[in-house]
Amino acid sequence: MDSATTAPTSTRTYRVRTYGCQMNVHDSERLSGLLEAAGYTAAPEDEDADVVVLNTCAVRENADNRLYGNLGHLRPVKDARPGMQIAVGGCLAQKDRGEIVRRAPWVDVVFGTHNVGSLPALLERARHNAEAQVEIVESLEVFPSTLPAKRDSAYAGWVSISVGCNNTCTFCIVPALRGKEKDRRPGEILAEVQALVDQGVLEVTLLGQNVNAYGVEFRDRGAFADLLRATGAIDGLERVRFTSPHPREFTDDVIEAMAGTPAVCHQLHMPLQSGSDDVLRRMRRGYRQDRYLGIIDRVRAAMPDAAITTDIIVGFPGETEADFEQTLEVVRQARFASAFTFQYSKRPGTPAATMDGQLPKEVVQERYLRLTALQDEISWAENRAQVGRTVELLVAAGEGSKDAATGRSSGRARDGRLVHFTSTAGVRPGDVVETVVTDAKPHFLVADCALLSHRRTRAGDAHEAGTRPTTPGVSLGMPRIGVPDPLPVSTGC
């Protein structure tokens, strides 16, 4: 059965709820595109949907409890709506498989990370057979990019350059759920970016579990830097971002590409996880404190205005007070613009879950509070240094985009910082404005002054009209190992 063309017997509505990382957000755009291609329509915000899809995460703390809690809330809704269907996909579905239907027998469909494209056919099969359908495949057969997508934003888009991960970090279950790294061909990536730009998109984020390992299947260590330069050269594309790199594979040619390609934003999210060499070794991160700080120094030498952010885990098994002090010291030296900080918690199926030295919750909590207090202090100081600077903002939607009480809208600076600015009539999400920073808070900037400029864009027109970019997907299959496509924009065929 062709999943992209399987249509429900009558027009039905859907809603996709997303949990977890950017990869899941992008997968949800694919799920929405698939459902619309199959004849479903998005449910209005104030109405229950005929099909609810939960795109789950297995990495975040209490992911299982959150899923089953949400399924519990959906049960009476389904009981009151004959014919309603519930589907569960994503990393937790890949991990738990048939356990989901056992614990929540009112679920109709369970699908994994490798068979997103099966959703419409599985929904139809569940309706026809009047029983739950569980389909989990063990490896990726085609890239999600071959599937249609309904984009969330008129002005910014995710573009996946790889899926899976070859690392073996002891705290992470992602490689077990998403598989080994598979790289898309450069021509296919650039064709997708070009299609988005043709529809008015101004900013793309290149997405992968470890973007700077891109090219492993091509045996080309410089592939990611080349991809950055080629993406940044696409006419009409104003901003290029990427997430997430890994310090072990991060190379100087990427720094050179960032600094030398005007469209590539001077923003770098570089996960630290711990500042202790001993903890990094037990995490199997493949780098040490000196290498990490060396990367930060070289980035700042090439791009003094770069905003660097990070991820940090507190309380990894066996972490001593001295280990934690090393993390605090790296934070002091690196002076991150912001940090995503996490209290370690066991993830079943990871090596760290069975390690000796699991720390008491109260110890982890106390260290976490010390870390966040230090980072907030640094973030505020780094933001205060922005006061008086002129910033170019891509006006955002969904981030306090219009505050009636203050007359402010919100936008993202090129370095990724969130700025709340005094708006004027006619400024829309997707437009570009220039303003001057007048105040700073730990987590955002304020620009309470007259705009220096306002440029209306096709993306702003599309947002105002309620339209979003769509990509139909391209059936190019898996990349040919060792035979990369040339980097100039092409159809990838």
- pLDDT tens per residue, the chain (493 residues)? 444 444 454 689 999 998 877 777 888 888 888 999 899 999 998 899 999 999 988 776 667 778 889 999 999 999 999 899 999 988 888 888 888 999 999 999 999 888 888 899 999 999 999 999 998 887 776 676 667 777 878 999 999 999 888 999 999 887 777 788 889 999 999 999 999 999 999 999 999 989 999 998 888 889 999 999 999 999 999 999 999 899 999 999 999 999 999 999 999 999 999 999 999 999 999 999 999 999 999 999 999 999 999 999 999 999 999 999 999 999 999 999 999 999 998 887 899 999 999 999 999 999 999 999 999 999 999 999 999 999 999 999 875 555 666 779 999 999 999 999 999 999 999 999 999 999 999 999 999 999 999 999 999 999 998 887 876 664 333 333 233 333 333 222 2
Same domain, 163 and 278: yes
pLDDT of residue 214: 94
Sheet architecture: strand order including 109-111: 41-42, 13-18, 51-56, 85-90, 109-111, 133-135
Q: How far apart are CA 183 and CA 208, in angstroms?
A: 9
Residue 413 forms part of a structural domain: yes
Q: How far apart are CA 152 and CA 430, in angstroms?
A: 12
pLDDT of residue 379: 98
Give the gyration radius of the chain's Cα atoms.
Answer: 23
Same domain, 128 and 248: no
Residue 168 forms part of a structural domain: yes
Return the HEC string of the chain.
CCCCCCCCCCCCEEEEEECCCHHHHHHHHHHHHHHHHCCCEECCCCCCCCEEEEEECCCCCCHHHHHHHHHHHHHHHHHHCCCCEEEEEEHHHHHHCHHHHHHCCCCCEEECCCCHHHHHHHHHHHHHHCCCEEECCCCCCCCHHHCCEECCCCCEEEEECEECCCCCCCCCCHHHHHCCCEECCHHHHHHHHHHHHHCCCCEEEEECCCHHHCCCCCCCCCHHHHHHHHHHCCCCCCEEEEECCCCCCCCHHHHHHHHHCCCECCEEECCCECCCHHHHHHHCCCCCHHHHHHHHHHHHHHCCCCEEEEEEEECCCCCCHHHHHHHHHHHHHHCCCEEEEEECCCCCCCHHHHCCCCCCHHHHHHHHHHHHHHHHHHHHHHHHCCCCCEEEEEECCCCCCEECCCCEEEEEECCCCEEEEECCCCCCCCCEEEEECCEECCCCEEECCCCCEEECCHHHHHHHHCCCCEECCCCCCCCCCCCCCCCCCCCCC
Same domain, 355 and 275: yes
Same domain, 124 and 153: no
Q: How far apart are CA 442 and CA 272, in angstroms?
A: 20
Give residue 385's Cα distance to chain centre. Answer: 28
Task: Report the DSSP pairing between strands 51-56 and 85-90.
Answer: parallel
Residue 152 forms part of a structural domain: yes
Domain span including residue 442: 390-467
Residue 406: Cβ within 10 Å count? 13
For 398, residues 6+ apart whose C-beta sits below 8 A from its C-beta are: none
Structure tokens at 488: 């100039």
Task: Supply the CATH number for residue 368's domain.
Answer: 3.80.30.20
The amino acid at residue 343 is: Q
Burial (CB < 10 A; 0-12, 13-18, 19+), residue 212, is: buried
User: In the listed set 345, 362, 384, which residue is the last one of a domain according to the structure?
Assistant: 384
Same domain, 321 and 407: no
- The string over 454-479, giving b where at least 16 C-beta atoms fall within 10 Å of a residue's C-beta and e elsewhere, is beebbbbebbeeeebbbbebbebeeb
Q: How far apart are CA 154 and CA 201, in angstroms?
A: 6
Task: Supply the CATH number for residue 109's domain.
Answer: 3.40.50.12160
User: In the listed set 351, 384, 417, which residue is the last one of a domain according to the structure?
Assistant: 384
Contact criterion met (CB below 8 Å) for 89 and 56: yes
Give residue 58's Cα distance to chain centre. Answer: 15
pLDDT of residue 403: 62
Same domain, 60 and 115: yes
pLDDT of residue 209: 87
Residue 1 forms part of a structural domain: no
Same domain, 130 and 148: no
Same domain, 69 and 178: no
Same domain, 273 and 373: yes
Residue 192 forms part of a structural domain: yes
Residue 336 forms part of a structural domain: yes
List residues bridging with 418 in a β-sheet. Answer: 412
Same domain, 221 and 157: yes
Structure tokens at 3: 């999943």
Same domain, 335 and 212: yes
Contact criterion met (CB below 8 Å) for 356 and 407: no
User: In the listed set 106, 135, 164, which residue is the last one of a domain according to the structure?
Assistant: 135
Residue 7 forms part of a structural domain: no
Domain count, the chain: 3
Residue 4 forms part of a structural domain: no
Residue 73: Cβ within 10 Å count? 9
Same domain, 355 and 401: no
Task: Supply the CATH number for residue 431's domain.
Answer: 2.40.50
List residues bridging with 264 in a β-sheet. Answer: 240
